[in-house]
Each structure stands twice: as structure tokens, then as C-alpha cells.
Structure 1
């Protein structure tokens, strides 16, 4: 079975990256990055990514900052924020500006 959807998952925690890839690799082509900067690099290298899921709390560049930067060049991608915390003003603002499609 051909995997039609390419998902980029960005998280600074290696275990989360490994678990995400393990769970979803049967149905999706999963690409991982351990920082916002690496996520931007992966987007440059792979023009077939159609979904990006990013952790919110990462050192250097948080999820909203990463997605704001990515969306300037890759605006045809669906973006999601993944967080273990309550919604923040920054996430609410990103939802209102339609930078992200959903957070969970």
C-alpha cells in the first residue's frame, strides 16, 4: 500500500519523535525533526509534506514561531500544534490568525 500523506512531526523530545513514527509509519510517510530549525530544513528538502504537527514548547523556537516562519514559504500545508499544556494566548492568537488549523 502506497503511503499518500507525508507528515512532518517536530518535537525536541527524542522519545516522542520515535513513538510518533512507530505509531503512524504504517499509514503515513513520517518525517521527524528535533527543532524548529531542523523542521524548516526538512520542509525545504521535501516538497511533498502536506501535514505538519509541531510541539509547542521547544527551546530556541517554539511551535508557533516555527509554524509562522514555515507558513511564509509553505502556506499550502496543514499545520497543527501539539501540547501537553492548556491553550495559551499565543496558541489562541495563532488559531485566530489561521496560522494553525487546530491544537491538541
Structure 2
């Protein structure tokens, strides 16, 4: 088992999963999932190790906010974030106001900005 803090990233595009993993795996253990369903399974299997979850917003079957609502039923005491190439919208604003998510990041992502929030959260 890795001594690095683990984070889970969910995105339905393989290229985004690879880019995220390559960007963050030096400082962290990066677990990835290419669907909300796989993300929920990985969260359940690794709930003792995962320190934060970052999800894409627009995915088939379930969007990022819907995924996080379900994920919080399994693990509620870690920070959740949305990372999206789409614009900030009312659903994301509502999720922030309800403390469902900690922060909304835009693609292409700023690694330093995400690290600052992960370090503050971890």
C-alpha cells in the first residue's frame, strides 16, 4: 500500500484520466475511474485511503454533482471537487452553497490551484 495520500478522479474520457494521473501521481496515489459507477466502486473499496475526490461534471448516466451526492452516502468526511470543461452553472453553484463540493475547477486545469486545495483539504 502506498504511503502517499490517495485521491480519486472520475472522468469518462480516457485522455483526461491519463493527463490527471501523470500530473498528480508524483505527490499522490491517483486512483481513476472512467464512469460514475466505477468511481463509486473504487471509493467503496478504498474508502480508508482516499483523502479527496475530483469528478468531471458531464458524464453519461450521472453528472458530477449526482455522483458526489451518491458518493457522500459512502464517504462523507472528505472533500469533493468538480473539474469541468463546461461553464459554471446553477447546479454547481447550488452544490457549492450546500457544501456538497468544496470547489469548482475548470479544464484545462491549473495543477498548482488543485494542489493548494488538496493540501488544504488533506
Length-normalised TM-score, structure 1: 0.94
Structure 1 residue ranges (4+ consecutive) displaced by more than 2 angstroms after TM superposition: none
Q: How large is the RMSD of aligned CA atoms in angstroms?
A: 1.0
For residues 25 and 87 of structure 2, the distance between their equivalents in structure 1, rounded to whole angstroms, comes to: 28
Partner of 1:76: 77
Give a deviation string over 1:40-86, Cα, whole Å, max 9, x none.
00011102101100000001111000000001221011100001121
Length-normalised TM-score, structure 2: 0.81
Structure 2 residues not aligned, in runs of 5+: 106-122
For residues 22 and 73 of structure 1, the distance between their equivalents in structure 2, rounded to whole angstroms, comes to: 27
Matches within 5 A, 1:1-104: 3-47=3-47, 48-104=49-105
C-alpha contact 1:8 1:49 (8 A) present in aligned 2: yes
C-alpha contact 2:83 2:104 (8 A) present in aligned 1: yes
**Structure 1 residue 3: Cα displacement:** 4.4
C-alpha contact 2:6 2:51 (8 A) present in aligned 1: yes
For residues 90 and 50 of structure 1, the distance between their equivalents in structure 2, rounded to whole angstroms, comes to: 24
SS in 1 for 2:61: coil
Structure 1 residues not aligned, in runs of 5+: none
